[in-house]
A = this chain, B = another copy of it.
Amino acid sequence: MRILLDVMGGDNPPEELVKGGVLMAHRSGAQIVFAGDPDTLRTALAAQGEKPGDRFEILPTSQVVGMSEAPVTAVRGKKDSSLVRGLQALRDRQVDAFVSPGNTGAIVAGSIFVLGRLEGIPRPGLLAALPTVTGQDLYVVDVGANSDSTPDHLLHFGLMGAAYARDVAGIPDPKIGLLNIGSEPGKGNRLIGNAYALLEESPLPFVGNVEAHHVLDERPVDVVVCDGFIGNVFLKSVEGGVAALARLFKRTIRGRVVAMLGALLMSGSIAQVRGTMSYQRRGGAPLLGVDGVVVIAHGRSDALAIGSALDVARSQVEAGLLDRFSHGVSGWRSHAD
């Protein structure tokens, strides 16, 4: 398996991302094609005791799409960027998957332009795997590939999320919930009301509305469907709430000897919880619905996080997920064929 890694678009330097690629390649046996500035890449590989060859290749590019560039303009204007050239390599089947910690909007726009949408899928959706109290991840789609969705888009996010849960995460009978502000049918806004009706009529394993304060605790469903704007607010709100709580604790115990001793005794547990919640362990977010395996890693990804994003891409290639969408919503079956 060959995975392309765009090393130019993230917040961390290419050296850190190359390190993650090298570690993952040795762990998994995958080949990595690094897209970026060739001199930087050779130096970074050398720092890991490696050089270009069968296992590690370099796709030389001269341009970089920045984090705050306007997506469409950047993708259209920067033909020799690691982002565009990397996606072209995927389109031409020179690699099996594309992974980048770059500008999310630009990766979505580039994927649609270069790879195209899968037949029958109206819009791609970005899937996030969130840790829950139960120990099992929760799959949320869309978390920001789109900012304005229609009910039909949400229906297909449900299809793609359920197929991912079944074929990549190995959940034989995944259940789908619709993120809403109340649990009863009829709650919410027009978009959600219409999406509810479509999901209910479909053969997808839809169980009803779910609310944001329940899903991480009780995990009543495997897949949460939402509009990309709302899904993105959901992710960032959870992150913000958790960070605020942690910060409040630090501030509260400061200078209190007994409490600080308590925190010291708990440090193993704190580290374990932090590990469970860590985005580094869950790597990247698959962009589902385009014609190729694309995984968007967190912009702040370090070597560990990039390795885990590459693992996400590998699992998706191994599962042959793209073929699973081709029957459309009407072809849904709960067990993989």
Contact = CB atoms under 8 A, between A and B. Distances in A.
Given A188-B229, A190-B148, A248-B133, A243 B213 contact: yes
Contact of A233 (B179, B184, B239, B277): B179
A181 B233 contact: yes
A43 interface: no
A133 to B, nearest CB: 5
A149 to B, nearest CB: 9
Contacts of A197: none
Contact of A236 (B181, B187, B246): B181
A272 interface: yes
A238 B261 CA distance: 28
B233 A248 contact: no
Nearest to A181: B232
Given A262-B264, A266-B266, A269-B256, A188 B237 contact: no
B213 A239 contact: yes
Where chain A touches its partner, the secondary structure class is helix
Interface residues on A, range: 35 or more
A44 to B, nearest CB: 30
A247 B217 contact: yes
B236 A233 contact: no
Contact of A245 (B147, B186, B233, B245): B245
Question: Which of A132, A179, A245, A252 gathers most chain B CB within 10 Å?
Answer: A245
A261 B268 CA distance: 13
Contacts of A249: 269-270, 273
A109 interface: no
Given A215-B240, A265-B259, A277-B245, A233 B234 contact: yes
Interface of A: 68, 70, 132-133, 144, 147-148, 179, 181, 184, 186-190, 192, 211-217, 229-230, 232-234, 236-249, 251-253, 256, 258-259, 261-270, 272-273, 276-277
